Structure 1
Amino acid sequence: MAARNSEALDVFLRVAADSRVSWRTVELAGRGISADAASVTWVISEGKDSLSGEELSDLLIEQSDLVDKLTESWRSFEIEEISGAEFEMHLERIVVGLEGWISRASQK
């Protein structure tokens, strides 16, 4: 399987490398990287074969919405519209959402 760079992975790596964020935020970024990798693996190894196109599309749209929130939150933090603590709260909700996405997708 070839490596793939995703928008989510790019943001999570930027978060983990940023000296302005807390260690808790770095931990959340690591969990996000794991969730992103698990989702890619699931889509390639199971999702494409086990779901109809419509079911898979619905799941991917849900995941895309979470990635959009991630990107927007990171942008807001970078331009100082939100604080580090606010970004951490947003990031935690997004990461928990991505981890939940994996659980829901695997149960279909």
Structure 2
Amino acid sequence: MAARNSEALDVFLRVAADSRVSWRTVELAGRGISADAASVMWVISEGKSSLSGEELSDLLIEQSDLVDALAESWKSFESGEISDADFEAQLERFVIGLEGWISRASRK
């Protein structure tokens, strides 16, 4: 079940489908899917036309850093390096970060 063109979406789908995670974690994955979709829509509909290349690049690098952190956290959870509770807390921070990214990007 690999998603194309979105590492974040791929991770969120894997989280939501994993039987080891709590319902709260599944809820966070759903919020993450929504935030990821909103960020893609913003980049396509507003970001490309309203920002300079440098400004958009800076925002996308910031987003990429968030996605890298999400992917690393998921790998740590899958390999048993972190507990369910630690993963859930990290996922919540990531989702809040992505939701905040959209808010910051929209104000530029």
TM-score (norm. length: structure 1): 0.96
Distance 1:69 1:29 in 2: 15
**Identity score, percent:** 87
Q: Which residue of 2 aligns with 1:97?
A: 97
**1:5, CA displacement in angstroms?**
3.6
Verify: 1:72 aligned to 2:72, yes or no. Answer: yes
Q: Which residue of 2 aligns with 1:38?
A: 38
How many residues end up aligned between the 2 structures? 106
* Structure 2 unaligned regions, length at least 5: none
**1:52, CA displacement in angstroms?**
0.2
* Structure 1 unaligned regions, length at least 5: none
Deviations 1:17-73 (A, max 9, x none): 000000000000000000000000000000000000000000000000000000000
SS in 2 for 1:82: coil
Distance 1:80 1:57 in 2: 35
Q: Which runs of 4+ in 1 moved over 3 A?
A: none
- RMSD between superposed Cα atoms in Å: 1.1
